[in-house]
């Protein structure tokens, strides 16, 4: 989904003082093989949070060699019962492969149809760009998958914190009417229990 590159590569200079769409390029003489290498997905993420999941992102900010190349990967770890809550990637489709465990993966179309599958190691699923989707660990132990995106910066809109933990808050009248819940549901319930990290 990203624009085509205009050169072989453009290793991101994360500290540049100018601001462009993506990141400016590190000067060519400074580029090393290490700029095309990233080991940040080799470690298991910490899943001790309310959702029991952890997303480790190899996007262009984490892995500057991806800048302008239109792709990135996430590692998602699940504790038993862990949920990657409903979310959207505004700038990419996603295809994932399960490495370990058993996951229920699903997305909902703009016509309100749920498509879902239970996946085990080696099996893949695809999430069309911009659609709400989730993954739930339905196996006995931990689970792990890798998700590839056709953007260097797919972005993530996690619906629970987006709606209930924004700064400033969305007015209660909006949330109570939208979700048909009472004021308590908004102020005393969900937000206090939810600590994403
Ligand atoms: C999974 O859906 C992810 O976005 O990492
Ligand atoms: Mn996703």
1 within some domain: no
Question: Ligand 2 being an ion, which residues bring their Cβ within 5 A of it?
Answer: 94
Q: What secondary structure, in 3-state letters, does 64-111 show? A: HHHCCCCCEEEEEEECCCCEEEEEECCCCCEEEEEEECEEEEEEECCC
Give the pLDDT score at 106.
98
Query: What is the pLDDT confidence band of residue 194, given thresholds at 50, 70 and 90?
Result: low
Model confidence over 101-158: pLDDT tens digits?
999 999 999 999 999 999 999 999 999 999 999 999 999 999 999 999 999 999 999 9
Query: What is the pLDDT confidence band of residue 186, given thresholds at 50, 70 and 90?
Result: confident
Same structural domain, 43 and 101: yes
Element (H, E) at 163: helix 159-164
pTM check: above 0.90: yes
Do the strands 157-158 and 83-88 form a parallel or antiparallel pair, or are they unpaired? antiparallel
64 within some domain: yes
ipTM of the predicted structure? 0.95
Query: What is the pLDDT confidence band of residue 190, given thresholds at 50, 70 and 90?
Result: low
Give the pLDDT score at 188.
59
11 within some domain: no
Give the pLDDT score at 189.
54
**In contact, 76 and 147? CB cutoff 8 Å:** yes
**In contact, 118 and 104? CB cutoff 8 Å:** yes
Same structural domain, 99 and 32: yes
Give the Å distance between the CA of 2 and the centre of ligand 1. Answer: 18
| Phi then psi dihedrals of residue 113, to 5 deg | -100, 130
Averaged pLDDT for residues 82-97: 98
17 within some domain: no
**Which structure tokens are listed for 164?**
């209930």
Model confidence over 24-67: pLDDT tens digits?
999 999 999 999 999 999 999 999 998 999 999 999 999 999 99
Same structural domain, 113 and 170: no
Same structural domain, 111 and 175: no
Give the pLDDT score at 161.
87
* Most informative mutation of 58, 84, 86 for ligand 1 (most atoms within 8 A of CB): 84
Give the pLDDT score at 197.
45
The beta-strand segments (E) located in the chain are: 53-58, 72-78, 83-88, 94-100, 102-108, 114-120, 124-127, 132-137, 143-149, 157-158
Return d(Cα 138, Cα 141) in angstroms, integer.
9
- Decide which of 191 and 64 is more confident: 64
Domain count, the chain: 2
34 is in which domain, residue-wise? 28-155
């Amino acid at each position: 989904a990203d624009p085509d590159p205009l050169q072989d590569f453009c290793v991101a200079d994360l500290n540049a003082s100018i601001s462009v769409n993506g990141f400016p390029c590190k000067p060519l003489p400074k580029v090393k093989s290490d700029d095309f290498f990233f080991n940040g997905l080799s470690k298991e993420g910490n899943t001790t949070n309310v959702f029991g999941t952890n997303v480790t992102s190899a996007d262009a900010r984490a892995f500057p060699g991806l800048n302008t190349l239109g792709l990135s990967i996430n590692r998602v770890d699940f504790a038993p019962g862990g949920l990657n809550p409903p979310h959207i990637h505004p700038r990419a489709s996603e295809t994932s492969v399960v490495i370990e465990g058993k996951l229920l993966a699903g997305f909902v179309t703009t016509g309100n149809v749920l498509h879902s599958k239970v996946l085990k190691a080696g099996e893949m699923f695809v999430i069309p760009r911009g659609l709400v989707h989730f993954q739930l660990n339905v196996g006995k132990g931990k689970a792990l998958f890798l998700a590839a995106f056709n953007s260097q910066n797919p972005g993530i809109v996690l619906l629970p914190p987006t709606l209930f933990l924004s700064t400033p808050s969305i007015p209660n009248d909006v949330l109570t009417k939208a979700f048909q819940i009472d004021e308590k549901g908004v102020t005393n319930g969900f937000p206090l229990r939810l600590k994403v990290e």
